[in-house]
Amino acid sequence: MTDAQTPGSPSAGLEPRPHQRITPVPEHSREAALTVAVAAALTRGGVLAHVLQGCAQAVVEHLDAAFARVWTLNEAEQVLELQASAGMYTHLDGPHGRVPVGAFKIGMIASQRRPHLTNEVVADPRVSDHAWALREGMVAFAGYPLVVEGRLVGVMAMFARRPLSDATLDALGAVADGIALAVAREWMEQERDRALSDALEARQQAEEQAAELEMQAEELQTQALQLEEAQVELEMQAQELQQANEELGRGAERMGFMMDSMPQKVWTADAAGNVNFFNQRWLEYTGLSTEELRDWGWQRIIHPDDWDENLRVWQNSIATGDDFQLEHRFRRRDGAYRWHLSRGVAQRDGAGTIRMWVGTNTEIDEQKRNEQALRTSEARYRLVTRATNDVIWDWDLSTDELLWNETLETTFGYSPADVPPIIQFWYDHVHSEDRDRVVEGIHAVIDGGGETWSDGYRFLRTDGRYAEVLDRGIVNRDPSGTPLRMIGSMQDVTERRREEAERERLLSLARTERERLEQIFTAAPAVMAIYTGPDHVVTLVNPTWAETVGKPDAVGRPFREVFPEFAESGLFALLDEVYETGRPYVDPEVTVPMERWESGELEETSWNLVWLPLPAREGQAERDILVHAVEVTQQVRARRAVDAAREAAEDANRVKSGFLATMSHELRTPLNAMIGYTDLLQMGVPEPIPDGPREQVRRIGLSARHLLQLIEEILTFSRLEAGREVLQAEEVDLSEVVQEVRAILQPLASEKGLHFDLHHSEELSSMETDPRKLRQILINLVGNAVKFTEEGMVALSVRRDDGWIVFNVRDTGIGIDPEHLEAIFEPFQQVETERAKRAHGTGLGLSVSRRLTRLMGGELVVESTLGKGSTFTLRLPMRAAPMAQGEAP
Ligand code: ADP
């Protein structure tokens, strides 16, 4: 026990222990206890009959007597009168109420003044009523004459149902001596009191007589003499009393001697609590003298940690007179402290005043240690049950009581305080399908002498679901093998089972996946293989690999050896790099020479190739590279053919453009000469010509102009095609441009009877653009409008829209089929209709116009309704933004 656990002080961590603990008196100290109890009864004082009753009771209590009796001697009548009777008979007026000295065994003990002791009551001739003794099971009888200084004062006797030991008989003898002394003292006190009252009565009478018979001097004299005699008598009585007291003192000495010879530690203290006596056992135990221990000297043998509590209890008893009981440690002579149970009882006189204290101290060290060990192991058990996640149960097999720890609540939801503490609760919550098996199993272990049991089953939770549990128990048996209790622990393995199932599911999933992967590997139309280790040994190939690559015995050989024809390709170094860096190599087109089927010929092959390093497999140092390749030899060949054809076509185109440009230039010079001369002829230079030939000259001029326009368009187109058309932006007077266009086309419109409408707002004075190109586009658009319109009008309008100049060319002509709206911007595209006259164009005008527009940073679009007319809209930026170099028109 630690310092914190001195009696009465609160103790940390453990349950408070009862302040007073009842400890059975050890067998060997039965006599000691008797002696103390008798001593206590004797010293308590009061009416003699009560004192004797106390002694008889003590004998019955401490010696387990059937009954005990005390008779005192009526000296005058020589009759023993029953004064006290305890045990199975307590009446005083039965047949043994008055026993003449010499009669029966009691009277015989008195007359012979010798104790009579027997452990064979039934065989004893002195026992008168053998039938009674047999019936009551009496075994032992002990009777003692009560004798003081040769004077018989009474008899003490007892019957017991068990044999009495020598030690008991010795103790009884001492008790008898004590009782005899008490009776004798009582007698002497009675005699003294009687003598005193006699004397007082006599003196009173004498005084009365003296008062009445003053004259009767003689008489008075006589009375005085009588008084003197009475006083002498009184003195004698007093002397006798003195003697009796000395006797009593010697008796007390004998009591001390008795106490000394007791195996128990005994002490006495006066009413104020000053300890004045320690028996021999005490002195031996502590190695100290009475002088060292008396009064408060015993403090030195109390454990310092226990002292405060000890003092408190003892002072409380001194103050209140209450008995006390206390557990504390005393220091043995060797310095070791041992636990004792100490009791103290106040001894009172007839008036209830405390006369003294008597106490005993019983060593309980071993019990205390056992108790402590038990408490520690219980505490540990509680701690363990609290610390574990398992549900711990404790089943008392004799009562079927079953207790759970707190985990029952955290695991299954039941509060241990709320569930009935019986085994039935467990039975009831096991799944009905498991119950019979589980209950039979556990009982087979208990009844079959087994020690351990375990089982798995389903256990109902508070939420109505069943938990999968694993339960284990240990049977505890007494030495004869009888099962006493069973302690077990239950684990909720629902989660574990679920995880196991999940793992199983994932495993089978992985297996399926693996099979699928194998299928893919086998059935894939791509070449697939695994190269292993730094030498890239071909370890696995799929059927496609085997068929396509045409290396029948590749497996098991290094890459370099399988493909010696790759030596020049750089692939060996690349593959090493993939292996060392772990970075994949992807090339959609690797072209290498390859020899298939040992043909002896190198074939130019192309592959869409992936080399993918795989993470190292567990327990394997060498890494794998997954090969995935699709042969693209045919595609590469086809593409190369197409490329070659395109290049040839582009070359031809360039030649054609060059040819056209040259041709156009060569054609323009003679055409200009033709136009010049026809103009002169029409003007009558060098001389006027008649109307008929003049009309023919005009037509020659028109056709020449038309031809020139065509040549201009072709020239522009070829320049655009060749990317040689350059933008030459300048500030342009808009009205000038539109008037020019009008001047050129008004005559044609008028000729066809068409109204020519021109509309442009005055404030639109100028813009920055290439005027030649703008003019060319507008002439083309307005020209088309006139060309494809038979009646109605053509209109040209100009407006501004933010930073843009918007030109609209509208006509009421034949319109364009919606499905041709985009085609007309393609070069050499003309819409074939009855009304359109193909001969009048090249199909290049719109194509050239749109390309020029884009070159100038603008856009050209058309809206048209077949049969109703068309509107072309040209949008150009007000400020020329030259196009980036190389951006195609
Ligand atoms: P061309 O006028 O030399 O045939 P264009 O490229 O200028 O070549 O025009 C291509 C075709 O677009 C014309 O042949 C004609 O069918 C159609 N087209 C152009 N402008 C108009 C228009 N205003 N109305 C009807 N059709 C037109």
Q: What is the pLDDT of residues 542-591, one digit of tens each?
A: 888 888 888 888 899 999 999 999 988 899 999 999 999 989 999 999 99
CA torsion through residues 547, 550, 552, 554, sign: negative
Nearest CA to ligand 1 atom 11: 830
pLDDT at 838: 46
Asked if the model's pLDDT at residue 6 lies above 70, the reply is no
Indicate the pTM of the whole model: 0.34
Q: Does ligand 1 have an atom closer than 6 angstroms to the CB of 548?
A: no
* In contact, 315 and 273? CB cutoff 8 Å: yes
Instruction: Tell me how far the alpha carbon of residue 112 lies from the centroid of ligand 1, in angstroms.
Output: 174
Cα separation values, 214 from 224, 299, 312, 633, Å: 12, 68, 67, 177
- 813 CB near ligand 1 (under 6 Å): yes
Q: What is the rounded distance in angstroms from the CA atom of residue 673 to the CA atom of residue 671?
A: 5
At residue 24, the pLDDT reads 44
Residues 6+ apart with CB under 8 A from 710: 842
How many angstroms separate the alpha carbon of residue 44 from the centre of ligand 1?
A: 152
Q: Report the atom number in ligand 1 closest to the C-alpha of 836.
A: 16
pLDDT confidence bin for 853, thresholds 50/70/90:
very high
Say yes or no: CB of residue 785 within 6 Å of ligand 1.
Answer: yes
Q: Report which secondary-structure segment, H or E, holds 111.
A: helix 104-112
Give me 138's structure tokens: 């009496």
pLDDT in tens, 733-778: 998 899 889 988 998 899 899 999 998 877 777 899 999 899 999 9
Distance 843 CA to ligand 1 centre (A): 7
Q: Which atom of ligand 1 is nearest to the CA of 847?
A: 6
HEC profile of 549-609: HCCCCCCCCEHHHHCHHHCCCCHHHHHHHHHHHCCCEEEEEEEEEECCCCCCCCEEEEEEE
Q: Which of 711, 714, 812, 824 to mutate to test the pocket of ligand 1 (most atoms within 8 A of CB)?
A: 824
Q: 290 C-alpha vs ligand 1 centroid, how far in Å?
A: 149
| Residue 841 CB–ligand 1 contact under 6 Å | yes
Q: Is the pLDDT of residue 680 over 80?
A: yes
Ligand 1 centroid – CA 784 distance (Å): 6
CA 143 to CA 883: how far, in whole Å?
149
| DSSP states along 781-831 | HHHHHHHT-SSSEEEEEEEEETTEEEEEEEE-S----GGGTTGGGSTT---
Q: Is the CB of 442 under 6 A from ligand 1?
A: no
Which whole-number Å values give the CA distances from 670 to 270, 409, 498, 663, 681, in the listed order? 166, 115, 100, 12, 17
**pLDDT for the residue numbered 704:** 87
* Token output for 455: 């089982």
Show the tokens assigned to 143: 């009777």
Which ligand 1 atom is nearest residue 831's CA?
Answer: 16
- Check if 846 has its Cβ closer than 6 Å to any atom of ligand 1: yes
The contacts of residue 775 (CB under 8 Å, 6+ apart) are: 737, 740, 741
Instruction: Find out whether the beta carbon of 783 lies less than 6 Å from any atom of ligand 1.
Output: no
> What is the distance in A from the centroid of ligand 1 to the CA of 333?
139
Length of the chain equals 889
Ligand 1 centroid, distance to 736 Cα (angstroms):
26
In whole angstroms, how far apart are CA 832 and each of 424, 542, 849?
105, 61, 20
What's the CA-to-centroid distance between 855 and ligand 1, angstroms? 21
Q: What is the mean pLDDT of residues 447-451?
A: 90
Name residue 326's beta-bridge partners: 342
Closest by alpha carbon to 213, among 225, 231, 205?
205
CA of 795 to the centre of ligand 1 (A): 16
Tokens 């085994």, residue located: 423
3-state secondary structure of 281: helix
Please name the residue whose Cα sits nearest to atom 8 of ligand 1: 843
Q: Does residue 690 have a cis bond before it (omega within 30 degrees)? A: no
pLDDT bucket at 128, cuts 50 / 70 / 90: confident
Q: Is 842 in the pocket of ligand 1 (CB under 6 A)?
A: yes
d(CA 678, CA 694): 9
Q: End-to-end distance of the chain based on CA atoms, in angstroms? A: 107
pLDDT at 489 over 80: yes
**Cα 144 to averaged position of ligand 1 atoms, centre (Å):** 163
Atom of ligand 1 nearest to the CA of 872: 23
pLDDT of residue 726: 85
Residue 377 has pLDDT above 80, yes or no: no
pLDDT digits (tens, 9 = 90+) for 613-654: 988 777 777 889 999 999 999 999 999 999 999 999 888 877
Residue 714 beta carbon below 6 angstroms from any ligand 1 atom: no
- pLDDT top residue among 530 and 373: 530
Distance, CA 810 to ligand 1 centroid (Å)? 13
Q: Which atom of ligand 1 is nearest to the CA of 780?
A: 7
CA of 281 to the centre of ligand 1 (A): 146
Strand partners, 449: none
What separation in Å is there between the alpha carbon of 773 and the centre of ligand 1? 19
Is residue 519 over pLDDT 90? no
Give me the percent of the chain exceeding a pLDDT of 90: 30
Sheet with 466-477, edge to edge strand ranges: 401-404, 391-396, 483-492, 466-477, 452-460
- Which ligand 1 atom minimizes the distance to the CA of 842? 3
Q: How far apart, in whole angstroms, are the C-alpha atoms of residue 846 and residue 706?
A: 16
Kindly report the protein residue whose alpha carbon is nearest to atom 14 of ligand 1.
830
Our mutation pick for probing the ligand 1 site, out of 784, 787, 829, counting the most ligand atoms within 8 A of Cβ, is 784
- Confidence at residue 617, expressed as pLDDT on a 0 to 100 scale: 75
Asked if residue 175 has pLDDT above 60, the reply is yes
Q: What are the tens digits of pLDDT across the range 531-553?
A: 999 999 998 898 888 888 888 88
Q: Is 802's pLDDT higher than 80? A: yes
Question: For ligand 1, is residue 836 a contact (CB within 6 Å)?
Answer: yes
Rounded distance, CA 230 to CA 232, Å? 5
